[in-house]
Structure 1
Amino acid sequence: MTAKRKLFTGVIILLVAAVAFSYWQIRQFAASALTINQETIFTLPAGSGRIALEARLNQQHIVPESPWFGWLLKLEPELANFKAGTYRLTSGMSVREMLALLSAGTEAQFPVRFVEGTRLQEWLAALRAAPYIRHTIPDDKLATVAAALKLNEQELEGWFYPNTYLYTANTTDVELLKRAHEKMTSLVDTIWEGRMADLPYKNKNDLVTMASIIEKETAVSGERSKVASVFINRLRLGMRLQTDPTVIYGMGDGYKGNLTRKDLETPTPWNTYVISGMPPGPIAMPGKASLEAAAHPLKTNFLYFVADGKGGHTFTTNLASHNRAVQEWRRIVKEQNER
């Protein structure tokens, strides 16, 4: 073998070795873990290319600076189809897994929980406190919210389904409220169609209104249809509903935590100690169980109920029995306060 040929062979061997070493380094880099110790939310802006992505990952100390980042994308071009968005990166995730996540466009989802028995104003506050939501409703006035959702103000309170909703970054407040409204509307339609015959409701809004009162009166699942029976019996007899949550709702910001006799006697459209029949609309967002109870009340003779001091209620058919139950409740509360 001539010296020239030996030199050429040696160069080839070195090149092959260099390529093999580089390939090994790229594979090692791809399999290496991200340099994060906890879950990290990473946002890639629209229009970001390979250089911008690498720089952002370096700046946020997610991936260390490496000469192999660009080579990895050339070696595995399917990883280079990354998409703008907000992603959840986890400790222990490899560089390749991260790039695959970005290329799949599987954005992070965030939860916002709307609780049964809460009011629209509380939902709006929850939306404003939730991360990564794009706020398009300028204020929390009912007229503003109604206009944004293209609804009447009377279609707001009570007409959003309480649940935990998942969303991706930049989802708007309007989108989330529309999802909750559509779910509630669909559910109410179904329950309305299957409701018990001859209930004293003029329309679906009455059903939702009754469900909202039930929701505020008891958190005990087994009591809901019994509470419903009390109010249905009262409506049929022409008795006033006399339910405290309607008074509280009508007081708005004037309610400070305690109801007085004056509060019960002060007229508002929702004060069922003063008005006859149903209040003009819901007082909270009812859950499915309360809607079902409003549509299928138990058949009872109960006309009264009061807290029993143990988390539930005592139900009675006449005023004398009710007054005794009230006295018993007051005795239990007094003993609890004295402990």
Structure 2
Amino acid sequence: MKRFLRLLVVFVVLIGLICCWLLFSQATSFDAKSKYIMIRSNNKNAILEQMKNESIIKNKMAFNLVASVTGTWDKIRTGKYEVKKGSNNLDIARMLKNGKQAEIKLVINKLRLKEDLARLIGKNFESDSAEVMKYISSNDSLKQYGVDTSSLFTMIIPNTYKFYWTATLPRIFRTLLDEKNRFWSAKDRAAKAKALSMRKEEVYTLASIVEEETNDEGDRSKIGSVYLNRLRKNMPLQACPTIKYAMKDFTLTRIYEKYLFNPSPYNTYRKPGLPPGPICTPSPKTIDLILDAPKTDYLYFVAKADFSGYHHFSSTYEEHMLYAKQYQKKLDEYMARKKEKENAK
């Protein structure tokens, strides 16, 4: 009898140790501080295989036992999960059971094309880029946000947005719309746009052009005043960045006369007023520079001949042409030297 009791105690202790090992021993085998795993279905065998292959767990049988006992397989949901280094089977099973997904930070900076937006969302969320592209290319999809395929970008304020990987496209775009509304309601922006006799979307579109003209804030502010003056005088904007957008070639460093005949509605040399929509997503700072643009009588600007990136601003066409010829001469000289070097290779 005593021997049986001793064996029973040993057996119970052994079972307890095995349970502790299953529950609390380190399950992970990766070296990084944490690792992400994408759960795309509730197929138990596929998930176990994936977790083993990605070094999230060491032993499929051990994790399966813990997950089964804790009811994880009945509760698991698709999503992106972050597993910390050193996590045990119980930690991972509880996280999956409770659906504690990792937070996705969608960082939006400057985008130029709908394809750029589709790739960015497809890279970070369950929806792939093809699905996103189909969604944002449909006016039926976009009308609930008060935009169409041309004005889509006007609802995107560059910022960092937080979501879960499983966020739907309507959820993502509703969040972007909420941020747009918050942005325009702050700092008297809507009132400033009205004072310029412009809609918010028009200010955004103009800011997108100025964003592409230069990186210097001082010059951006003056360029903004030039375009505002041209709009007031019903002059064509004649903005070179709109030609690049029309041709979908953002590597162009020189706009030749032949490019100016492009029939695109974004060609502001041929089409009066603002283009149908933005040519990029401008920074909030550039939007504010348009809203607070200085009052000037400038109607023209051209890059300085020293290639410093700064511009000469003029009120008369005659003065502008003097600066333009200086720049053209230096540019021709530079291109000639560049060609000589290429031929010498």
What TM-score does the superposition give when structure 1 sets the normalisation length?
Answer: 0.76
Task: Give how far 1:265 is off.
Answer: 4.6
Report SS of the residue matched to 2:237.
Answer: coil
Residues 254, 217 of structure 1: alpha-carbon distance in 2 compared, 3 angstrom cutoff: closer
Out of 83, 87, 103, which is 2:81 matched to? 87
Alpha-carbon distance between aligned partners in 2 of 1:196 and 1:300, rounded to the nearest angstrom = 18
Alpha-carbon distance between aligned partners in 1 of 2:131 and 2:68, rounded to the nearest angstrom = 46
**Contact 1:137/1:144 (8 A) holds in 2:** no
User: What is residue 223 of structure 1 aligned with on the other side?
Assistant: 219
**Contact 2:193/2:200 (8 A) holds in 1:** no
Q: Does 1:235 align with 2:231?
A: yes
Residues 67, 14 of structure 1: alpha-carbon distance in 2 compared, 3 angstrom cutoff: farther
Q: Does 1:42 align with 2:40?
A: no
Alignment of 1:115-154 (within 5 A): 115-116=109-110, 118-128=112-122, 130=123, 132-135=125-128, 140=133, 144-150=137-143, 151-154=147-150
Alpha-carbon distance between aligned partners in 2 of 1:18 and 1:196, rounded to the nearest angstrom = 79
Letter of the aligned partner of 1:318 in structure 2?
Answer: T
User: What is residue 306 of structure 1 aligned with on the other side?
Assistant: 302
The runs of 5 or more residues in structure 2 that have no matched partner are 339-345
User: What is residue 200 of structure 2 aligned with on the other side?
Assistant: 204
Report SS of the residue matched to 2:192.
Answer: coil
- The alignment-based identity, stated in percent, is 22
Residues 310, 141 of structure 1: alpha-carbon distance in 2 compared, 3 angstrom cutoff: farther
User: What is residue 194 of structure 1 aligned with on the other side?
Assistant: 191
Alpha-carbon distance between aligned partners in 1 of 2:274 and 2:68, rounded to the nearest angstrom = 69
Report SS of the residue matched to 1:314.
Answer: strand
Root mean square deviation of aligned Cα: 3.9
Residues 142, 44 of structure 1: alpha-carbon distance in 2 compared, 3 angstrom cutoff: closer
Alpha-carbon distance between aligned partners in 1 of 2:331 and 2:119, rounded to the nearest angstrom = 33
Letter of the aligned partner of 2:120 in structure 1?
Answer: A
**Contact 1:117/1:216 (8 A) holds in 2:** no
What TM-score does the superposition give when structure 2 sets the normalisation length?
Answer: 0.75
Alpha-carbon distance between aligned partners in 2 of 1:275 and 1:80, rounded to the nearest angstrom = 60
Letter of the aligned partner of 1:115 in structure 2?
Answer: N
Alignment of 1:265-276 (within 5 A): 265-266=261-262, 268-276=264-272
Alpha-carbon distance between aligned partners in 1 of 2:137 and 2:193, rounded to the nearest angstrom = 37
**Contact 1:36/1:62 (8 A) holds in 2:** yes
Alpha-carbon distance between aligned partners in 2 of 1:66 and 1:143, rounded to the nearest angstrom = 42
Alpha-carbon distance between aligned partners in 2 of 1:142 and 1:325, rounded to the nearest angstrom = 47
Q: Does 1:169 align with 2:162?
A: no
User: What is residue 5 of structure 1 aligned with on the other side?
Assistant: none
Alpha-carbon distance between aligned partners in 2 of 1:144 and 1:73, rounded to the nearest angstrom = 43
Alpha-carbon distance between aligned partners in 2 of 1:121 and 1:192, rounded to the nearest angstrom = 29
User: What is residue 180 of structure 1 aligned with on the other side?
Assistant: 176
User: What is residue 295 of structure 1 aligned with on the other side?
Assistant: 291
Residues 332, 24 of structure 1: alpha-carbon distance in 2 compared, 3 angstrom cutoff: farther
Alpha-carbon distance between aligned partners in 1 of 2:179 and 2:330, rounded to the nearest angstrom = 41
Letter of the aligned partner of 1:312 in structure 2?
Answer: Y
Alpha-carbon distance between aligned partners in 2 of 1:139 and 1:103, rounded to the nearest angstrom = 29
Alpha-carbon distance between aligned partners in 1 of 2:164 and 2:88, rounded to the nearest angstrom = 23
**Contact 2:221/2:293 (8 A) holds in 1:** yes
Alpha-carbon distance between aligned partners in 1 of 2:66 and 2:249, rounded to the nearest angstrom = 64
Report SS of the residue matched to 2:313.
Answer: strand
User: What is residue 343 of structure 2 aligned with on the other side?
Assistant: none
Is the deviation greater in 278-287 or in 38-47?
38-47
User: What is residue 342 of structure 2 aligned with on the other side?
Assistant: none
Task: Give how far 1:156 is off.
Answer: 1.9
User: What is residue 12 of structure 1 aligned with on the other side?
Assistant: 5
Alpha-carbon distance between aligned partners in 1 of 2:135 and 2:41, rounded to the nearest angstrom = 34
Task: Give how far 1:255 is off.
Answer: 8.2
Alpha-carbon distance between aligned partners in 1 of 2:263 and 2:41, rounded to the nearest angstrom = 56
Letter of the aligned partner of 1:31 in structure 2?
Answer: S
Residues 81, 36 of structure 1: alpha-carbon distance in 2 compared, 3 angstrom cutoff: farther
